[in-house]
């Protein structure tokens, strides 16, 4: 098939490249000329494991093209994919201007019957609105909802081995087209969910909000652990071994971030309000996430007996490991809070340093090497559980960090609970986890660790 994908970001780039690897002829279109120039130069504008090789292979194979214009050769495409951003507006509702701009472009360029596949995360009713927007097209275009569930950091493998693919279509013809498109992925039985566009749109928001609710609830429990002396690791294990609940997404931490959970939870709550249905659980998940960021800043402040005038190192600036994405990252929130309270912040991340610098400029010095970011700091805060941070040399960390004026050892705030408190303490450092009872955690057996 001949396919056009609008938006060469995290979703569009992976989807378009994946589809070309399945043998389709794909044009990736983006309004950002720098992004397209980089791609045509063989450079990959985002960090996503495995993506570079896949792009280069399909570029060499002549199936994958990048452009800021739709050439006449793609005006007869079989399908147009919309994968542009849907950021939150001031009230939390999704801003659909980019989606609608793409719809207008498709209406202008399409010269044969085709499907328009909405991969962007959009509120219920958007596919119908896009369908109405396409009314002026010269040819028949059917809009299909096909929300994306890829996880940054695992996006390539998620494309080829998705848990499920959801398709919301109104006609059998469109359903059949999407079935054929995804046939090479060999999705058995329930892994291909066929439904109507409105249910499909809601599935995406419901999935992300469900996961966000789990994280927020565990974060609230971690705060209760601090207040009561219970240990969040034990609570997680005890709760997660119930097969009805399961073990995933039960980790307390600095709060969820990224370009999806914060925005989608708020967009779902806004959709509820617009339709006269207050989604109290979704609203509470969002508020609990905001509270966790405040709690973390207070925890650091307390551990250092005030951060004013202190230097603090952050390890992990991306919102999760294996990505360079810092959108809504806990590190962005914490760095802002610490700077506001008068601290100097130094950062390190294996991939996200340049994106973090785009946000903070010279306000945060980002170092190339993890240990170099420690020199002279009073505290190290671990915010992203990159593999390279999992087994650090605590003696070296101690050597580089600085004790407080009254001789208190430097503190490590482990916001992902990945280090053993006893090991940190043996190196002569103080340990602070999230909801971790120091007394019990020191004796924790290794299988209790993440």
Among candidate residues 5, 225, 260, 334, the one labeled active-site is 260
Check whether 182 is labelled as a binding-site residue: no
State how far the Cα of 13 lies from the Cα of 17, in Å rounded to an integer. Answer: 6
d(CA 257, CA 325): 10
Q: Which is nearer to ligand NAD, 324 or 370 (CB)?
A: 324
> Which phi and psi (to 5°) does residue 127 adopt?
-60, -40
247 known ligand binder: no
Using CB under 6 A, which of 1, 22, 31, 187 touches ligand NAD?
Answer: 31
- Least Å distance between CB 148 and ligand NAD? 4
Q: Does 166 bind ligand NAD (CB under 6 A)?
A: no
For position 214 contacting ligand NAD by CB under 6 A, the verdict is no
- Residue 10 binding ligand NAD, by CB under 6 A: yes
Residue (81 or 360) nearer to ligand NAD, CB: 81
- Which of the residues 81 through 100 are near ligand NAD (CB under 6 A)? 83-86, 98
Q: Residue 77 interacts with ligand NAD (CB under 6 A)?
A: no
Shortest approach of ligand NAD to residue 25 CB, angstroms? 19
The reply to whether 257 sits in an annotated binding site is yes
Structure tokens at 399: 């050597």
- From the CB of 286, what's the least distance to ligand NAD, in Å? 16
| 150 marked as binding residue | yes
Shortest distance in whole angstroms from residue 380 CB to ligand NAD: 28
The single residue among 5, 9, 123, 289 that binds ligand NAD, judged by CB under 6 A, is 9
Measured between alpha carbons, how far is 252 from 333 in angstroms, rounded to an integer?
17
Dihedral in degrees, nearest 10, Cα atoms 361, 348, 350, 381: -130
Q: Which of 4, 11, 114, 335 binds ligand NAD (CB under 6 A)?
A: 11
Helix axes 197-228, 280-303, angle to 10 degrees: 40
Q: Please count the other Cβ atoms lying within 10 Å of the Cβ belonging to residue 427.
A: 17
* Span near ligand NAD by CB under 6 A; candidates 7-15, 132-140, 221-229, 278-286: 7-15
DSSP string of 2-25, one letter each residue: EEEEE--SHHHHHHHHHHHHTT-E
Contact 389, 315 (CB under 8 A): yes
To the question of whether residue 217 is assigned a binding role by annotation, the answer is no
Residues between 357 and 416 that touch ligand NAD (CB under 6 A): none
Give the residue nearest to ligand NAD (CB). 9
Query: Measured from the CB of residue 133, what is the shortest distance to ligand NAD in angstroms?
Result: 13
- Check if the beta carbon of residue 330 is closer than 8 Å to that of residue 293: yes
User: Cα 334–339–341 angle (5° rounding)?
Assistant: 95
The encoded tokens of residue 349 equal 């991340």
Closest CB 450 distance from ligand NAD, rounded Å: 22
| Residues contacting residue 367 through CB under 8 Å, at least 6 positions apart | 346, 347, 348, 353, 373
Site string for ligand NAD, 245-274 (x = CB under 6 A): --------------xx--------------
| Contact range with ligand NAD by CB under 6 A, out of 79-87, 237-245, 345-353, 413-421 | 79-87
**Is residue 152 within the footprint of ligand NAD (CB under 6 A)?**
yes
Taking the complex as a whole, the smallest distance from the CB of residue 201 to ligand NAD amounts, in Å, to 11
Using CA atoms, how far apart are residues 4 and 114, in angstroms rounded to an integer? 11
Query: Do 15 and 148 form a contact (C-beta atoms < 8 A)?
Result: yes
Pair of tokens at residue 42: 């063989």
Residue 127 is among the residues annotated as catalytic for this protein: no
Residue 152 is labelled as binding a ligand:
yes
Taking the CA atoms of residue 251, residue 224, residue 440 and residue 255 in that order, the dihedral angle to the nearest 10 degrees is 30
Size of the site for ligand NAD (CB under 6 A): 26
Closest CA to 207 of 174, 240, 166: 166
> Tokens for 89?
């507006």
Asked if residue 35 binds ligand NAD (CB under 6 A), the reply is yes
Phi, psi at residue 49, to the nearest 5°? Answer: -55, 130
Closest distance to ligand NAD from the beta carbon of 84 (Å):
4
Residue 53: both structure tokens together: 């090789």
Distance, CA of 232 to CA of 230 (rounded, Å):
7
DSSP bridge pairs for 448? none
Residue 295 assigned to a binding site: no
Reduced to 3 states (helix: H, G, I; strand: E, B; else coil), residue 94 is: strand
Here's the x/- map for ligand NAD, 110-149, by CB under 6 A: it reads as ----------xx--------------------------x-
Please report which helix (H) or strand (E) contains residue 118, including its range. Answer: strand 114-118
Which residues does the annotation place in the binding site for substrate? Answer: 149-152, 204, 249-253, 257, 320
Residues that bind ligand NAD (CB under 6 A): 6-12, 29-32, 35, 83-86, 98, 101-102, 120-121, 148, 150, 152, 259-260
Query: What is the set of active-site residues?
Result: 260
Which residues does the annotation place in the binding site for NAD(+)? Answer: 30, 35, 86, 121, 152, 263, 327
């Amino acid at each position: 098939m001949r396919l056009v994908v609008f938006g060469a970001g995290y979703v569009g780039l992976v989807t378009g490249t994946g589809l070309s690897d399945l043998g389709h002829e794909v044009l990736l279109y983006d309004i950002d000329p720098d992004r397209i120039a980089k791609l045509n130069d063989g450079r990959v504008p985002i960090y996503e494991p495995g993506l570079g090789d896949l792009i280069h292979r399909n570029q060499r194979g002549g199936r994958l093209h990048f452009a800021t214009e739709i050439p006449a050769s793609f005006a007869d495409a079989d399908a147009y994919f919309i994968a542009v951003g849907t950021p939150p507006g001031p009230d939390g509702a999704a801003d659909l201007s980019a989606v609608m701009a793409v719809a207008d472009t498709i209406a202008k360029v399409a010269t044969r019957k085709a499907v328009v596949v909405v991969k962007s995360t959009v509120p219920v009713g958007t596919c119908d609105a896009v369908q109405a927007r396409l009314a002026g097209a010269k040819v028949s275009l059917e809009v299909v909802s096909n929300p994306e569930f890829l996880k940054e950091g695992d996006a390539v493998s998620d494309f080829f081995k998705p848990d499920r693919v959801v398709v919301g279509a109104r006609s059998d013809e469109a359903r059949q087209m999407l079935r054929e498109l995804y046939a090479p992925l060999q999705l058995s039985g329930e892994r291909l969910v066929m439904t109507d566009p409105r249910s499909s749109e809601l599935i995406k928001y419901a999935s992300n909000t469900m996961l966000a609710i789990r994280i927020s609830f565990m974060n609230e429990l971690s705060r209760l652990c601090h207040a009561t002396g219970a240990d969040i690791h034990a609570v997680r294990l005890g709760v997660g071994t119930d097969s009805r609940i399961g073990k995933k997404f039960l980790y307390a931490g600095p709060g969820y971030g990224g370009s999806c959970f914060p925005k989608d939870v708020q967009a779902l709550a806004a959709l509820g309000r617009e339709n006269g249905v207050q989604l109290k659980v979704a609203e509470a998940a969002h508020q609990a996430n905001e509270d966790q960021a405040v709690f973390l800043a207070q925890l650091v402040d307390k551990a250092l007996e005030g951060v004013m005038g202190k230097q603090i190192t952050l390890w992990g600036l991306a919102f999760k490991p294996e990505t360079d994405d810092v959108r809504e990252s806990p590190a962005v929130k914490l760095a802002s809070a610490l700077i506001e309270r008068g601290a100097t912040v130094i950062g390190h991340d294996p991939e996200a340093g340049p994106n973090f610098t785009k946000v903070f400029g010279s306000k945060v010095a980002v170092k190339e090497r993890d240990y170099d970011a420690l020199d002279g700091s009073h505290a190290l805060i671990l915010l992203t559980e990159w593999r390279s941070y999992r087994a650090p040399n605590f003696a070296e960390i101690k050597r580089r960090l600085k004790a407080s004026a009254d001789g208190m050892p430097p503190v490590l705030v482990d916001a992902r609970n990945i280090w053993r408190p006893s090991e940190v303490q043996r190196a002569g450092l103080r340990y602070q986890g999230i909801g971790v009872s120091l007394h019990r955690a020191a004796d924790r057996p290794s299988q209790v660790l993440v």
